A = this chain, B = another copy of it.
Amino acid sequence: MKAEIITMVTMKAEIITIGDEILLGQVIDTNSAWLGQLLDSLNIAVHQIVSISDNKDAILHALTEAAKRSDLILVTGGLGPTKDDVTKEAIASFFQTTLVRDEEVLRHVKSIFEKFGNGRAMPDMNYGQADVLACCDVLFNDVGTAPGMWIERDGKCFAFLPGVPFEMKFLMEKRVVPRLADYRAKVSIYHAHVVTMGIGESYLADLIGDIESELPAHIHLAYLPKLGTVRLRLTAMGHDEADVKKETDGFARQIAVRVEDYLVAEKDVTIEEAVVERFTKDNIRLAVAESCTGGLLAGSITAVPGASAMFDCGIVAYHNRIKQQVLGVDEEVLASFGAVSEQTVIQMAEGVKSLGGADYGIATSGIAGPSGGTPDKPVGTVWIAVSGPHETVTQLFHFRNDRQVNIERSMAQALNMLWKLYKKDNSK
């Protein structure tokens, strides 16, 4: 019932993404997720995301439908200079207007080509980038050549933005969000999160079933499982922001206490963010030795802002010589047990820990596939070790997926093992 209430009282938003490359699966639509988060933080409910073709009829149809059901329509993509972009023509037709050349935009487009063109003249087609709808407010694009456009018509707001992520983000933050202030609903939507690891969705639901049953109708609980982590999201709505927050946080706290053994955080963070925050706070340093995860485990941690305070080093030891020379794995261990073995990951984890003088070391070694499997060690066989101040723990996994999923699951399990050992070490 929650969604019906929201759609009646707050601004309803819809995102339209234009581009054959999305329908063909050549590009993953990350813009919509970013926009969804931003609008949610502004209490604006996104009720639909639509991806359509670079095609005039498809664009006209999508705009017509969106105008019927939404108050705010954000359109991304289709504003590049080349001939495959028919968006402007289609939207001019939708608004029954014409395109006019904007002189300020043209000066800006020219200046970009002067700066980055290495002396080459601006191609003729880029003049067209300065063409905008006669009825629009230009959303001036400081960071690219495609201007955005803002149009209000029959009480609905339309924003047309380029598909290049950082240009789209710039225009949203600097040009669109300020314009939304007048329209934003006074109703508050509030989210509280509890993140767990190491317990399945159904067991978790059973564990907190009685708390869930007591939730009032205006608080909704969602389960978001992903690779060993389950995020619980409580969504509440009400007129008094402080009241809504207090009530929802109360239920979140009850849940957090109940799931303490599996608790990662009482806010919406990834396990990587939780590790970086906790290790930084406790002044603990981490080092990582990777074989099958190939640098992505280190990369997932260092991608978190501030990771340099707790991340020591990472060694991607694809070849045995690096395992021996840099990590100090015994030649004999490699010869007797192989690179994918408990003995090897123990020495890798302990080796990388002492190499960097870190407090914890993680090591992964496995056969991600699609080739490299043997009858003894088929594709998906992965050994993981985590070495802490008091002990080194290991675990063997048999994943049965493709390379990418095997790598992702290895990363998730490695972080799971690290978190568990760290919790244990700190409960003593």
Using a CB–CB cutoff of 8 Å, the interface residues on chain A facing chain B are: 3-4, 20-30, 32-38, 40, 45-55, 57-58, 80-84, 116-117, 120, 122-126, 143, 164-166, 191, 200-203, 205-206, 212, 220-226, 231, 233, 235, 268, 288, 290, 293-299, 301-303, 305-308, 311-319, 321-322, 325-326, 355-357, 369-372, 400-401, 403-405, 407
Contacts and interface: CB of A to CB of B under 8 A. Distances in A.
Contacts of A206: 123-125
5 contacts: A47-B53, A84-B222, A306-B371, A315-B316, A315-B326
A3 B58 contact: yes
Chain A at the B interface: mostly helix, strand, loop or mixed? mixed
Nearest to A215: B83
Contacts of A84: 220-223
Contacts of A305: 369-371, 403
Given A37-B26, A52-B47, A326-B326, A299 B307 contact: no
Contact of A313 (B47, B225, B299, B317): B317
Nearest to A163: B225
Given A84-B220, A223-B84, A311-B318, A46 B24 contact: yes
Contacts of A295: 288, 290, 295-299, 301-302, 314, 316
A299 B303 contact: no
Contacts of A288: 295, 316
Contact of A356 (B122, B296, B321): B321
B26 A22 contact: no
Contact of A82 (B122, B205, B313): B205
Q: Which of A307, A356, A371, A407 has the most CB of B within 10 A?
A: A356
A20 B403 CA distance: 29
A203 B81 CA distance: 10
Nearest to A54: B222
B313 A319 contact: yes
Given A21-B224, A23-B47, A47-B52, 9 more contacts: A20-B222, A23-B36, A23-B45, A23-B48, A28-B28, A82-B201, A123-B205, A299-B316, A315-B326
Among the interface residues A24, A301, A313, A372, which one has the most CB atoms of the partner chain B within 10 A? A24
A289 to B, nearest CB: 10
A36 B23 CA distance: 6
